[in-house]
Amino acid sequence: MTTLFIADLHLEDKRPQLTRILCDFLGDQARRADALYILGDLFEFWIGDDVLSETARKVASAIRQLSDAGVPCYFIHGNRDFLLGEDYAAKAGLQLLPEVCIADLYGTPTLLLHGDTLCTDDVDYQAFRTQVRNPQFQAMFLNMTPEQRLEMAANARDASKQQSSGKSMDIMDVNATAVRALFEQHAVDQMIHGHTHRPAVHQHVLAGGTKAQRVVLADWRGSGSYLQVTAQGMETIPLPA
């Protein structure tokens, strides 16, 4: 029995090799899993279910085949693909999850999330996140033409990269107090997330001395990998290029 996790693939048409690696993974290793969880930023950007790139179509077909083969595929929105909606999810056979949820991983309740909400020291980003998650903003954006949406998304991405280059890595990483608060709010001692592109296993001490574990998934900047969770433990496994 095994459950697989991936995040931060940032797929787009100009990087077809990553899409190929994902499709190979979905047709091979993922077929032997109990479930697959995608914890956000599957795509570099998402401007609406009505405007599908070649990459989005290929990925939908590959995930649908996995889902039809009996492997449940779950998705938590990231900061790049938060507009991915029910139409695309239905096409791909994805089950959309809330931004924070708990999965029972072989007897261990585990918090799952993308991870951007934990980066509370990045005040500018959190303000931007609040703006773009507003239903009125999203309705306005989706009423634009595809060309207008694409231009707006590209400008937002460029601005984010420029702002990030001037920030310290500590500011863009998770806030330890926010992490402990989330652990204690949900009364669990294991968490898996992505977003920070800083794969690691962190140990935390909660109120009363309880120990907790936080696993950060690797991104797919250069190559692919997945986290494999079994009753015996966890292992990050690289994928062939």
Could you report the per-residue pLDDT of 187-197, keeping only the tens digit for each?
Answer: 999 999 999 99
What is the residue-averaged pLDDT of the chain? Answer: 94
- Cα-only R_g, the chain: 18
* CA angle, residues 85, 217, 37, in degrees to nearest 5: 40
pLDDT tens digits for range 89-127:
999 999 999 999 999 999 999 999 999 999 999 999 999
63 vs 61: CA distance, rounded Å: 6
The H or E element that residue 55 is part of is: helix 54-68
The pLDDT value recorded for residue 167 is 63
Inter-helix orientation angle 135-142/123-132, to 10°: 60
